[in-house]
């Protein structure tokens, strides 16, 4: 079993959802996450801060949106001001120096991860939408209160509404974690992660991806982290366009090449020409087999009429 010592996670941006096709035509819904220049900004140590952690940043922020204290903080690390920051608790032996850039190769195919983010905000919602209540009856005395949640308290004892009572209120916009999601595909060149299923948040929201806390860390996972500078081009497997890695269960069939398309077109043209020749040969034979029509006399019509008369 892998070590329980934690390593740093990753920050990603949610691009949206799509689906991948398998060879048998079945589909797998996936969420696409983008890692845009994820780098280490600061390091927390137990001696100085009381705990071991890494502060990561993603993206590039505009200079006008960075406060003066943060400018000095980022300059000390020697990194550009990021758009979003997140901190990950790590083990004492999983530290990475500030300024290091991380890659998606830290997450391997078929690996389980936990994705954390802020759910979509729904605003003020009633009890039926927020908690799934059935509501009141539509007839028999119920007047203009069909979607209400009913009584909320008791009598004089206890004379109040208990805390955490399921009532109408603000729905969504909560920090939630989806556990044990499968990584279907990785694209180290473009920094993309394809995760099976849905994750919290709307399109463009920031997410954190970590090793599944309920499962042991795979032995093949890079430790202390997947560092971009340490990778070699020969070690990075780049999947073909439209295909997932061979190790993934869900795959997309490859499109035919230009040579195969030309061969198919030539075969269809040859088949069409053969059909036209067969049809041309069959037309004279059909004409020779058809019976000859009897010539009609000029007065045939009048003679017939006289006979009938």
Residues 211-251 have pLDDT tens digits of 989 988 877 777 777 776 655 544 555 555 444 544 444 44
Distinct helix (H) and strand (E) counts, the chain: 5, 11
Whether the CA torsion 91, 14, 245, 111 is positive or negative: it is: positive
Three-state secondary-structure class, residue 14? strand
The pTM assigned to this predicted structure is 0.69
Report all structural domains of the chain as residue ranges with CATH numbers, in order of start: 1-120+173-255 (2.40.30.10), 122-171 (no CATH), 258-308 (no CATH)
| pLDDT above 90 for 16 | yes
C-alpha distances (whole Å) from 187 to each of 72, 109, 195, 232, 282 are: 34, 11, 12, 15, 59
| pLDDT above 80 for 70 | yes
User: What confidence tens digit (pLDDT) does each residue in 87-140 have?
Assistant: 999 888 888 888 888 888 777 777 899 999 999 999 999 999 999 999 999 989
Q: How far apart are CA 9 and CA 11, in angstroms?
A: 7
At 135, which helix (H) or strand (E)? none
User: What confidence tens digit (pLDDT) does each residue in 157-183 have?
Assistant: 889 999 999 999 999 999 999 999 999
| pLDDT above 50 for 288 | yes
Q: How far apart are CA 251 and CA 218, in angstroms?
A: 23
Q: How confident is the model at residue 72 (pLDDT cuts 50, 70, 90)?
A: very high
Q: How far apart are CA 10 and CA 40, in angstroms?
A: 10
| pLDDT above 50 for 4 | no
For residue 127, the model assigns a pLDDT of 95
Q: How confident is the model at residue 292 (pLDDT cuts 50, 70, 90)?
A: low
For residue 309, the model assigns a pLDDT of 42
Q: Minimal CA–CA distance to 14: which of 171, 123, 119, 121? A: 119
């Amino acid at each position: 079993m892998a070590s329980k010592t934690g390593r740093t996670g990753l920050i990603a941006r949610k691009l949206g959802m799509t689906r991948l096709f398998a060879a048998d035509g079945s589909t797998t819904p996936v969420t696409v996450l983008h890692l845009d220049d994820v780098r280490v900004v600061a390091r927390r140590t137990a001696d100085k801060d009381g705990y071991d952690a890494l502060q990561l940043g993603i993206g590039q922020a505009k200079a006008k949106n960075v406060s003066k204290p943060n400018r000095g903080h980022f300059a000390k690390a020697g990194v550009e001001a990021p758009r979003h920051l997140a901190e990950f608790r790590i083990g004492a032996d999983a530290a990475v120096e500030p300024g290091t850039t991380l890659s998606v190769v830290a997450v391997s195919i078929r690996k389980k991860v936990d994705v954390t983010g802020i759910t979509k905000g729904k605003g003020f919602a009633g009890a039926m939408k927020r908690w799934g209540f059935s509501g009141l009856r539509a007839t028999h005395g119920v007047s203009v209160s069909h979607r209400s949640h009913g009584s909320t308290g008791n009598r004089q004892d206890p004379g109040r509404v208990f805390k955490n009572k399921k009532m109408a209120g603000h729905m969504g916009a909560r920090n939630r974690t989806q556990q044990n999601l499968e990584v279907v595909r990785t694209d180290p060149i473009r920094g993309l992660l394809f995760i099976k299923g849905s994750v919290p948040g709307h399109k463009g929201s920031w997410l954190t991806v970590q090793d599944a806390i309920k499962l042991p860390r795979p032995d093949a996972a890079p430790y202390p982290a997947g560092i971009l500078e340490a990778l070699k081009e020969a070690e990075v497997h780049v999947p073909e366009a439209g295909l997932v890695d061979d190790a993934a269960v869900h795959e997309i069939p490859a499109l035919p090449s230009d040579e195969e398309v030309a061969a198919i077109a030539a075969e269809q043209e040859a088949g069409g020409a053969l059909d036209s020749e067969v049809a041309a040969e069959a037309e004279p034979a059909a004409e020779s087999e058809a019976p000859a029509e009897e010539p009609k006399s000029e007065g045939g019509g009048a003679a017939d009429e006289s006979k009938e008369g």
